[in-house]
Amino acid sequence: MITLALSKGRIFDDTLPLLRAAGVEVLEDPEKSRKLILRTSRDDVRVVLVRASDVPTYVQHGGADLGVAGHDVLLEHTHELANGGTGGAVGLYRPVDLGIARCRMSVATRAGFDYAAAARHGARIRVATKYTHIAREHFATKGMHVDLIKLYGSMELAPLTGLADAIVDLVSTGSTLKANHLVEVEHIMDISARLVVNPASLKLKQDRLRALIDAFDAASKGVVA
Ligand code: PRT
Ligand code: MG
């Protein structure tokens, strides 16, 4: 059996066409059932639904053979491991940038906040984010002094309530920032979703897994496998 870990929502939705192109049809709709294990048109392939941030953990520890996760999630996960957050730091094999669930990691502030001046004058600013490792590295590289405030969601609220001067968050259309009167003041990096594979699975299930990875790769490049 090959187990693929996906998260509900944009990762699942964007992965479906790639799976289809790879000859795998998911037979159940996660929006219509509460099932966490979904059957596919292949008897030897199943999909498990996990939280987006849990995908690397599942794949790393062999709860799934492969998975799809945002580069943001993978970067944060890698830093957690480096800081001793989770035991058993087995490597994750990352063979393919799928080019799906695209967005960018950015710094945003209230419209009136002069971020450029704060950065220039070496002012200490408060930054709220879910992505503390990516943010810490970004500001350290720039030599900026920041106090990071860890949040788990609704980052947009932080500058509006005075909790923080700025946020580091994902932006895709920009409409969430706009609706909250925030402006993007700095682009940190482009983000897309990656295929991650358990190295032990790759050895044990070599042929079938390789074929699936290659089919994913071809599908993500728009080539019919
Ligand atoms: O379930 P859990 O809350 O733990 O996970 P999650 O919320 O991170 O999952 P999900 O499904 O929202 O996102 C999965 C992955 O999709 C992320 O890890 C990113 O790699 C990718 N992705 C692509 C995005 C976006 N685009 C995106 N726009 N993830 C989140 N957003 C959010 C953003 O945080 C902000 O709140 O959408 C809002 C901004 O969108 P716009 O279009 O208004 O700019
Ligand atoms: Mg979400």
- Residue 224 pLDDT > 60, yes or no? no
Q: Is 115 helix (H, G, I), strand (E, B) or coil?
A: helix
- 203 and 124 assigned to the same domain: no
Total of domains in the chain: 2
Q: Which of 26-30, 49-53, 82-86, 178-182 has the lowest mean pLDDT?
A: 82-86
Ligand (nearest to CA of 157): 1
- Residue 223 pLDDT > 90, yes or no? no
Of 222, 194, 11, 190, nearest to 95 by C-alpha is 194
- 158 and 186 assigned to the same domain: yes
- 90 and 30 assigned to the same domain: yes
Over the stretch 53-76, which tens digit does the pLDDT of each residue have?
999 999 999 999 999 999 999 999
- 129 and 182 assigned to the same domain: yes
The pLDDT of 174-198, averaged and rounded, is 98
The pLDDT of 168-188, averaged and rounded, is 98
Query: What is the CATH number for 107?
Result: 3.40.190.10
- 81 and 181 assigned to the same domain: no
Over the stretch 73-132, which tens digit does the pLDDT of each residue have?
999 999 888 776 554 445 899 889 999 999 999 999 999 999 999 999 888 999 999 999
Determine the atom of ligand 1 nearest the C-alpha atom of 10. Answer: 11
Q: Is 173 helix (H, G, I), strand (E, B) or coil?
A: coil
Region of 9 please: left (phi>0), alpha (psi -120 to 50) or beta.
left
- 38 and 74 assigned to the same domain: yes
- 147 and 196 assigned to the same domain: no
Q: What is the mean pLDDT of the chain?
A: 94
- 47 and 96 assigned to the same domain: yes
Asked if residue 107 lies in contact with residue 166, where contact means CB atoms within 8 angstroms, the answer is: yes
What's the domain range around 25?
2-102+192-224
Integer angstrom CA distances of residue 221 from 12, 100, 180: 18, 11, 36
Residue nearest to ligand 1 atom 18, measured at CA: 70
Residue nearest to ligand 1 atom 22, measured at CA: 101
Mutate to test the pocket of ligand 1, among 103, 105, 167, 191 (most ligand atoms within 8 A of CB): 103
- 11 and 98 assigned to the same domain: yes
Q: What's the pLDDT score for residue 86?
A: 53
| Å from CA of 192 to ligand 1 middle | 11
- 183 and 107 assigned to the same domain: yes
- 87 and 8 assigned to the same domain: yes
- 6 and 98 assigned to the same domain: yes
